[in-house]
Structure 1
C-alpha cells in the first residue's frame, strides 16, 4: 500500500473503501512518536500481521490543539513528513494524515466512525491510546468506539499508559517540558532515542559564511518548535560518522529574522550540503537566543559557543547511528 495523504472523507465519497479487505487502525496525534506511541502502533501492527490485514495509522495535520490555538500554537516535536516516515518505519502499511479543519472539527464522533473507520478503512480492529477523545466537542471516546464497533463489526481497545523508569507516564507534554528546560536525558528516555530534527538543507542568507561560521539550514515550516536557543549537536547524514557541531534554533533576532530556522555549524567541515537530507541530534543547551547590538558582538559570542560545544562533545559520544 502507498502512503495516504487525504482530507477527512465522507461516506458518500464515490471512490470506495481504501482497504476493501479490511484493516487494523490506530489513531492518534503521534507528535514525537515516543514510547507510548510506539507501544500503540506496535500493538496495531502485530494484530494486523496476525490477521493478514494492512496496518493503518490515522493522524491529523495540523494537530487539533494547533487548530484551536491559532494565536499561540503549542510547540511541535516533529514535522509531518518525519511523522509519516516514522510511522512507516514502525511497520504501518499506510498512514492517513487527515486535514484538521473546521469541517473535521465540527464532525460528530459517530459520523467520523461511520465515514472513516467503517466506510473507508473497513476497520476490523481499532486501537487508541489511553484517554483518547475525538469528534465534535471531544464527545467520542473508547466507550463510543466499542459500542459502534458492536454494530459495525469491529472491535476497539485502548492500550494501557506507558511509564518510564521514574514511574511517570510517557507523554508528548512531558517531552516538550523536558526539551524547554534543556533536559535531553529525560527527553531521550521518554522518546526511546535522542531528540533530533531532520530535513533537507536549504539556502539561507549566507550571513554565517560571511562571519566565518557557515551553517546548514533546516526550516521548521509554520510550526512552533519545542526548542529555542543555542545547542551542542551532532549532525548525521554528512559522513559515515556523526559530525560535531553547534546549532542555533530560533528567529535570529540580531538580524531581525521571522521564520524559525535551525542552523547547524559543522566544525572543520568543507563541502556543499545544499539539498542533502541531514539530522541534527541535540546534546546540550548552551544558552538562550539573544539580540546583540552589532555583528561583531555576535561573532565574539559565536566563538564562545563554538569552544563550549566542542568541549561538551569531546566528552559525550553520539547516541544514535548516522542517518
Structure 2
C-alpha cells in the first residue's frame, strides 16, 4: 500500500524550540497559522511535570500546550489545525480540546480567550481505521475577533471525512466580506475510495482527490459569487513546483503529475481550463510519466487565479515544513 494513513500519535509531549516569534499587537492585523499536528492528544494532555512544579513558578517559557503555542506566536487571530485525529464519538477529547484553548480564569483579561470549532469524519466507509481516529480539522479563533466578525463556521456538504471548515466573516465598512477555508486535502493513492452512502467502490483515492479539487473550486467560486474574498489555508497536499518539493517533486506513480496539473489549473491559474490543461499535460509527458490528463472542454470555468502567498513573498526560498515529533520546531 502506497503511503498508508498515519496512525494516531504516541502519547508524549512535544519539546519546544527557542525561536523568537514576533508579537501581533496591531488590532487591524489578521494573522493565520496553519499546522498539521498529526494527532492532537499530545497538545491537550496535561504534562505530568505540571503536578510537581514549585508553587508560583513560571512555566510559560516551557509550555508545550496549545495556549503556549498561541502565546509564543503573539495570540494570532486564527490557528488552523489538520489531522487532529479525534474519533467523532470521543466527546471527552473534544471537550479537552475546547478547554485547552480557553483562557485560564486566573489570568483574568490579561490574555485573550479562544474558541475551537472541529469537523471530524462521519464517513463510515472511508474513515474506519485506528478506531476512527483519522483526519479531522480544527479552527481555533480568538474570541474577541469571533464575537465581532465571525458570521458562521461550517463544514461543506460534499465531504464527510472531516477535511474542511469554512469561516465566513461579516462585511467590513467597505462591504468586503472574507471567507477562510481550513483544508486538509486528500492524499492521492491507489487505495479504493467508496461511496460515502452506499459503500460501493467508485474509484481510487487519486480519483477522489481530483473530485475534491473540483468540488472545492466550485465552493470557492460560489463564495466569490456571494461577495466573499476567499483564503484557502491548511495542508494542501500538493507541491506546485519543483522548488516546493523535498527532495523533489513526486512523479511516480504518474498520477501525481495529473493531480498536480489539475490543482494548478483549477486554483492557481486564471486561464481557460482547456488551454492550461493542455499545457500541463504536455509538461507531465515531458517527464516521461506516461500520465494522461482527462480532456476538458472550454465550457468548464477558468481557474480561480489564487495566489500562493508564501511563494509570492518568498519566490526563491526552498524548505520543508514537516518535522518529526522528536525535533523542536514550535
TM > 0.5 fold call: no
Q: When the two structures are superposed, what TM-score results if normalisation uses the length of structure 2?
A: 0.28
Q: Which has the higher strand share?
A: 1
Q: Which protein has greater RCO, CA pairs closer than 8 Å, 6+ apart?
A: 1
Q: Which has the higher helix share?
A: 1
Specify the structure having the higher radius of gyration (Cα): 1
The TM-score with structure 1 as length reference comes to: 0.29
